[in-house]
Amino acid sequence: MNHSLPDSEILYSALVNRDSNFEGIFVVGVKTTGIFCRPTCTARKPKRANVEFFASAHDALLAGYRPCKVCTPLEYKGAAPDWLKPLLTEINDNPLIRLRDSDLRARGLDPSRVSYWFKRHHEMTFQAYLRALRIGQAFGRIKHGESVTRTALESGYESLSGFADSFKRTAGFSPNKSQESQLIVTTRILTPLGPMLAGATDDGICLLEFVDRRMLETQLKRLSKLLNAECAPGFCKHFDKLSSELEEYFSGKRREFDVPLVLPGTPFQQRVWTALQTIPYGSTRSYKEQAETIGLPNAVRAVARANGDNRIAIIIPCHRVIGADGNLTGYGGGLWRKRYLLNLESSHGPR
């Protein structure tokens, strides 16, 4: 993908300052070492005369550079380190597993190191993450007809009261109310632009946001209130399809998404979000044109606010709305991501 890069002096300044806003925009090749790095690499910065810039890791590899072992530019940002991957695979294969610190040590892992990674990437301790997974699994079993008693025992709880207390702390309601309630199950999905947080109910995807978006916590609270549901990490039938479609999108093989969506909002927001989905791949529309599309040409500011309230990035393509003068404006995930997405789509052309 041949992106047009900013001026090389701007790129070198971003490299020297380890500017995370340029993650995904370029990588840098160091001529004296033959290695290429992310802009945020912590290694000592080379002289200006010794670097060249590339729009992608693929371009750097074609130029003969090797990936840096410090910043690992071939890995998605937020990817689990190699030492943790066997543990994550074990948890994915058995979400009901219980692991004490001694169990982690027996696997050659430092419990404090494991806990630090989970706090940084999931904002909860490792043990809290395991408990939330167990409750998410239990909720699904009870909602689909299994008894509370059997679910509690098979989830590893020794008493119904202990199970009920843990369940209510996580889900916000007692296990007996599972069949008339719902839970927003969340997971992290890695992309070339950084990790995203996905949320889903039984009916479809209700959240897809970059984890570093400032409004993410507010969006989670709004979504929880709108759906009358708490959020908990776990597994959902829609996540595999979502991950597959995102991977196809970023590789230029998908232009439209088929994964089902859940879009609670006001009637006006619904109109705006529906209109966003009519903007063709590889095309853009101004905020004024967006307002005209829904039949309210004077509601430009309200349309912009509704765009900002979109909770499902990329799939509902608010990144395709730009300023009337053609400038990129207003994207919750950061303008650098908006630029990347538009470049990605334009490089593969409209239908």
Report whether 206 belongs to an annotated binding site.
Answer: no
SS (H, E, C) the chain: CCCCCCCHHHHHHHHHCCCHHHCCCCEEEECCCCEEECCCCCCCCCCHHHEEEECCHHHHHHCCCEECCCCCCCCCCCCCCCCCHHHHHHHHHCCCCCCCHHHHHHCCCCHHHHHHHHHHHHCCCHHHHHHHHHHHHHHHHHHCCCCHHHHHHHCCCCCHHHHHHHHHHHHCCCHHHHHHCCCEEEEEECCCCCCEEEEEECCEEEEEEECCCCCHHHHHHHHHHHHCCCEEECCCHHHHHHHHHHHHHHCCCCCCCCCCECCCCCHHHHHHHHHHCCCCCCCCEEHHHHHHHCCCCCCHHHHHHHHHCCCECCCCCHHHEECCCCCCCCCCCCHHHHHHHHHHHHHHCCC
- Say whether 37 is catalytic: yes
- Say whether 236 is catalytic: no
Report whether 41 belongs to an annotated binding site.
Answer: yes
Of the residues 37, 206, 231, 236, only one is catalytic, namely 37
Report whether 231 belongs to an annotated binding site.
Answer: no
Of the residues 206, 231, 236, 318, only one is catalytic, namely 318
Report whether 71 belongs to an annotated binding site.
Answer: yes
Binding-site members are: 37, 41, 68, 71
Catalytic residue numbers read 37, 318
Binding-site members for Zn(2+) are: 37, 41, 68, 71
